[in-house]
Amino acid sequence: MGYFSFLYYYNWSYMLFMLPCIILTIVVQASMKSTFNKYGSIHNSRGLTGYEAASRLLSSCGVTGVRIERVSGSYTDHFDPRTNVIRLSDAVYSSTSIAAVGVACHEAGHAVQHAQGYFPNKVRSVILPVANIGSKLSWFFIIAGLVASAMQPLLYIGIALFSASVLFTVATLPVEFNASSRALKVIRETGMLSSDEYVGAKKTLRAAAMTYVASAATAIMQLLRLLAIAASRNRD
Protein backbone atom coordinates (compact mmCIF):
# COMPACT_ATOMS: atom_id res chain seq x y z
CA MET A 1 0.00 0.00 0.00
CA GLY A 2 1.45 3.35 -1.02
CA TYR A 3 1.26 6.77 0.53
CA PHE A 4 -2.05 7.75 -1.13
CA SER A 5 -3.70 4.49 -0.10
CA PHE A 6 -2.57 5.20 3.44
CA LEU A 7 -4.27 8.60 3.31
CA TYR A 8 -7.45 6.99 1.97
CA TYR A 9 -7.68 4.53 4.84
CA TYR A 10 -6.71 7.23 7.32
CA ASN A 11 -9.53 9.54 6.14
CA TRP A 12 -12.42 7.09 6.04
CA SER A 13 -11.48 5.33 9.24
CA TYR A 14 -10.88 8.59 11.06
CA MET A 15 -14.36 9.86 10.19
CA LEU A 16 -15.99 6.55 11.12
CA PHE A 17 -14.23 5.89 14.39
CA MET A 18 -12.97 9.22 15.69
CA LEU A 19 -15.53 11.87 14.76
CA PRO A 20 -18.07 10.67 17.39
CA CYS A 21 -15.29 10.77 20.01
CA ILE A 22 -14.32 14.30 19.03
CA ILE A 23 -17.92 15.42 19.43
CA LEU A 24 -18.18 13.61 22.78
CA THR A 25 -14.98 15.23 24.04
CA ILE A 26 -16.14 18.70 23.06
CA VAL A 27 -19.50 18.21 24.81
CA VAL A 28 -17.87 16.77 27.95
CA GLN A 29 -15.26 19.52 28.15
CA ALA A 30 -17.92 22.20 27.76
CA SER A 31 -20.06 20.57 30.45
CA MET A 32 -17.11 20.31 32.83
CA LYS A 33 -16.12 23.96 32.41
CA SER A 34 -19.72 25.09 32.82
CA THR A 35 -20.17 23.02 36.00
CA PHE A 36 -16.85 24.15 37.48
CA ASN A 37 -17.63 27.78 36.72
CA LYS A 38 -21.05 27.48 38.36
CA TYR A 39 -19.99 25.77 41.58
CA GLY A 40 -16.61 27.47 41.63
CA SER A 41 -18.40 30.75 42.22
CA ILE A 42 -20.63 29.54 45.07
CA HIS A 43 -19.00 29.58 48.51
CA ASN A 44 -19.79 26.79 50.95
CA SER A 45 -21.62 27.74 54.13
CA ARG A 46 -18.94 26.18 56.37
CA GLY A 47 -16.25 28.45 54.93
CA LEU A 48 -13.95 25.48 54.29
CA THR A 49 -11.05 25.99 51.90
CA GLY A 50 -9.86 23.25 49.57
CA TYR A 51 -6.81 22.76 51.77
CA GLU A 52 -8.94 22.35 54.90
CA ALA A 53 -11.35 19.97 53.17
CA ALA A 54 -8.53 17.71 51.97
CA SER A 55 -6.98 17.76 55.45
CA ARG A 56 -10.30 16.78 57.05
CA LEU A 57 -10.81 13.89 54.66
CA LEU A 58 -7.32 12.51 55.34
CA SER A 59 -7.87 12.82 59.09
CA SER A 60 -11.29 11.19 58.85
CA CYS A 61 -9.76 8.20 57.02
CA GLY A 62 -6.84 7.93 59.43
CA VAL A 63 -4.24 8.76 56.77
CA THR A 64 -1.13 10.60 57.94
CA GLY A 65 2.14 11.74 56.39
CA VAL A 66 0.54 13.32 53.31
CA ARG A 67 1.55 16.90 52.47
CA ILE A 68 -0.83 19.31 50.78
CA GLU A 69 0.79 21.93 48.56
CA ARG A 70 -0.33 24.70 46.26
CA VAL A 71 0.47 24.39 42.55
CA SER A 72 0.01 27.05 39.88
CA GLY A 73 -2.34 26.74 36.92
CA SER A 74 -5.92 25.65 36.34
CA TYR A 75 -7.14 22.04 36.54
CA THR A 76 -3.64 21.06 37.76
CA ASP A 77 -4.87 19.37 40.94
CA HIS A 78 -3.36 15.93 41.47
CA PHE A 79 -1.94 13.46 43.97
CA ASP A 80 1.68 12.41 43.49
CA PRO A 81 2.16 8.92 44.99
CA ARG A 82 5.94 9.13 44.52
CA THR A 83 6.26 11.95 47.06
CA ASN A 84 2.95 11.39 48.88
CA VAL A 85 1.90 14.97 48.13
CA ILE A 86 -1.51 16.38 47.19
CA ARG A 87 -1.10 19.40 44.94
CA LEU A 88 -4.05 21.76 44.70
CA SER A 89 -4.32 24.52 42.11
CA ASP A 90 -4.67 28.19 42.95
CA ALA A 91 -8.40 27.97 42.25
CA VAL A 92 -8.82 25.16 44.80
CA TYR A 93 -6.20 25.44 47.56
CA SER A 94 -7.49 28.57 49.31
CA SER A 95 -10.94 28.76 47.71
CA THR A 96 -14.07 28.21 49.77
CA SER A 97 -16.20 27.29 46.77
CA ILE A 98 -18.27 24.12 46.57
CA ALA A 99 -16.22 22.98 43.58
CA ALA A 100 -12.96 23.51 45.49
CA VAL A 101 -14.13 21.28 48.33
CA GLY A 102 -15.20 18.56 45.90
CA VAL A 103 -11.96 18.63 43.91
CA ALA A 104 -9.73 18.78 47.01
CA CYS A 105 -11.52 15.83 48.58
CA HIS A 106 -11.25 13.88 45.32
CA GLU A 107 -7.47 14.29 45.32
CA ALA A 108 -7.38 13.36 49.00
CA GLY A 109 -9.36 10.28 47.98
CA HIS A 110 -6.43 9.28 45.77
CA ALA A 111 -4.09 9.66 48.74
CA VAL A 112 -6.35 7.36 50.76
CA GLN A 113 -6.33 4.81 47.92
CA HIS A 114 -2.55 4.87 47.96
CA ALA A 115 -2.35 4.52 51.74
CA GLN A 116 -4.83 1.64 51.82
CA GLY A 117 -3.36 -0.23 48.84
CA TYR A 118 -6.45 0.04 46.65
CA PHE A 119 -6.01 -2.85 44.17
CA PRO A 120 -7.09 -1.10 40.91
CA ASN A 121 -4.62 1.64 41.77
CA LYS A 122 -1.85 -0.95 42.05
CA VAL A 123 -2.83 -2.41 38.68
CA ARG A 124 -2.67 1.00 37.05
CA SER A 125 0.77 1.62 38.57
CA VAL A 126 2.05 -1.63 37.08
CA ILE A 127 0.74 -0.69 33.63
CA LEU A 128 2.08 2.88 33.76
CA PRO A 129 5.74 2.26 32.71
CA VAL A 130 4.70 0.18 29.68
CA ALA A 131 1.99 2.71 28.81
CA ASN A 132 4.53 5.54 28.87
CA ILE A 133 6.76 3.67 26.45
CA GLY A 134 3.78 2.83 24.25
CA SER A 135 2.54 6.42 24.09
CA LYS A 136 5.98 7.67 23.06
CA LEU A 137 6.96 5.02 20.51
CA SER A 138 3.75 3.52 19.13
CA TRP A 139 3.06 6.09 16.42
CA PHE A 140 6.60 5.87 15.06
CA PHE A 141 6.06 2.17 14.36
CA ILE A 142 2.47 2.63 13.18
CA ILE A 143 3.27 5.33 10.63
CA ALA A 144 6.33 3.46 9.37
CA GLY A 145 4.28 0.29 8.98
CA LEU A 146 1.47 2.07 7.13
CA VAL A 147 3.59 4.09 4.71
CA ALA A 148 5.88 1.27 3.57
CA SER A 149 4.41 -2.14 2.75
CA ALA A 150 7.75 -3.82 3.34
CA MET A 151 7.68 -2.56 6.93
CA GLN A 152 4.18 -3.84 7.71
CA PRO A 153 5.33 -5.86 10.77
CA LEU A 154 6.13 -2.54 12.40
CA LEU A 155 2.43 -1.69 12.23
CA TYR A 156 1.57 -4.59 14.53
CA ILE A 157 4.38 -3.67 16.92
CA GLY A 158 2.99 -0.13 17.03
CA ILE A 159 -0.55 -1.38 17.67
CA ALA A 160 0.70 -3.58 20.50
CA LEU A 161 2.51 -0.63 22.09
CA PHE A 162 -0.53 1.59 21.65
CA SER A 163 -2.70 -1.07 23.30
CA ALA A 164 -0.71 -0.61 26.51
CA SER A 165 -1.59 3.07 26.67
CA VAL A 166 -5.24 2.23 25.94
CA LEU A 167 -5.22 -0.30 28.77
CA PHE A 168 -3.84 2.33 31.14
CA THR A 169 -6.57 4.79 30.13
CA VAL A 170 -9.26 2.18 30.80
CA ALA A 171 -7.64 1.15 34.09
CA THR A 172 -7.78 4.77 35.20
CA LEU A 173 -11.59 4.80 35.19
CA PRO A 174 -12.27 2.74 38.35
CA VAL A 175 -9.52 4.63 40.17
CA GLU A 176 -11.06 8.02 39.37
CA PHE A 177 -14.62 6.97 40.11
CA ASN A 178 -13.58 5.40 43.40
CA ALA A 179 -11.69 8.53 44.47
CA SER A 180 -14.83 10.59 43.86
CA SER A 181 -16.98 8.04 45.69
CA ARG A 182 -14.66 8.17 48.71
CA ALA A 183 -14.69 11.97 48.63
CA LEU A 184 -18.47 12.26 48.50
CA LYS A 185 -18.93 9.64 51.22
CA VAL A 186 -16.70 11.54 53.67
CA ILE A 187 -18.18 14.92 52.69
CA ARG A 188 -21.66 13.60 53.50
CA GLU A 189 -20.72 11.73 56.69
CA THR A 190 -18.68 14.57 58.20
CA GLY A 191 -21.09 17.32 57.17
CA MET A 192 -18.44 19.35 55.36
CA LEU A 193 -21.17 20.64 53.06
CA SER A 194 -24.91 21.15 53.44
CA SER A 195 -27.23 18.85 51.51
CA ASP A 196 -27.65 21.34 48.65
CA GLU A 197 -23.92 22.00 48.52
CA TYR A 198 -23.25 18.25 48.50
CA VAL A 199 -25.32 17.98 45.31
CA GLY A 200 -23.14 20.68 43.74
CA ALA A 201 -19.94 18.86 44.71
CA LYS A 202 -21.36 15.63 43.29
CA LYS A 203 -22.19 17.30 39.98
CA THR A 204 -18.71 18.81 39.85
CA LEU A 205 -16.98 15.48 40.36
CA ARG A 206 -19.32 13.73 37.93
CA ALA A 207 -18.51 16.29 35.24
CA ALA A 208 -14.79 15.79 35.86
CA ALA A 209 -15.17 12.00 35.74
CA MET A 210 -16.81 12.20 32.32
CA THR A 211 -13.58 13.63 30.88
CA TYR A 212 -11.90 10.32 31.75
CA VAL A 213 -14.76 8.42 30.14
CA ALA A 214 -14.33 10.49 26.97
CA SER A 215 -10.57 9.86 26.99
CA ALA A 216 -11.09 6.11 27.39
CA ALA A 217 -13.68 6.03 24.60
CA THR A 218 -11.33 7.95 22.31
CA ALA A 219 -8.43 5.61 23.06
CA ILE A 220 -10.55 2.49 22.47
CA MET A 221 -11.94 3.79 19.18
CA GLN A 222 -8.46 4.79 18.04
CA LEU A 223 -7.29 1.24 18.71
CA LEU A 224 -10.26 -0.21 16.82
CA ARG A 225 -9.48 2.14 13.93
CA LEU A 226 -5.90 0.89 13.78
CA LEU A 227 -7.06 -2.71 13.87
CA ALA A 228 -9.51 -2.00 11.03
CA ILE A 229 -6.74 -0.47 8.94
CA ALA A 230 -4.46 -3.43 9.63
CA ALA A 231 -7.23 -5.85 8.64
CA SER A 232 -7.83 -3.92 5.40
CA ARG A 233 -4.16 -4.13 4.53
CA ASN A 234 -4.18 -7.88 5.05
CA ARG A 235 -7.06 -8.22 2.56
CA ASP A 236 -5.27 -6.13 -0.10
Residues marked as catalytic: 107
Parallel/antiparallel/unpaired status of strands 78-80 and 85-89 = antiparallel
- Tell me the three-class secondary structure of the chain, residue by residue: CCHHHHHHHHHHHHHHHHHHHHHHHHHHHHHHHHHHHHHCCCECCCCCCHHHHHHHHHHHCCCCCCEEEEECCCCCCEEECCCCEEEEEHHHHCCCEHHHHHHHHHHHHHHHHHHHCCHHHHHHHHHHHHHHHHHHHHHHHHHHHHHCHHHHHHHHHHHHHHHHHHHHHHHHHHHHHHHHHHHHHHHHHHCCCCHHHHHHHHHHHHHHHHHHHHHHHHHHHHHHHHHHHHHHHHHC
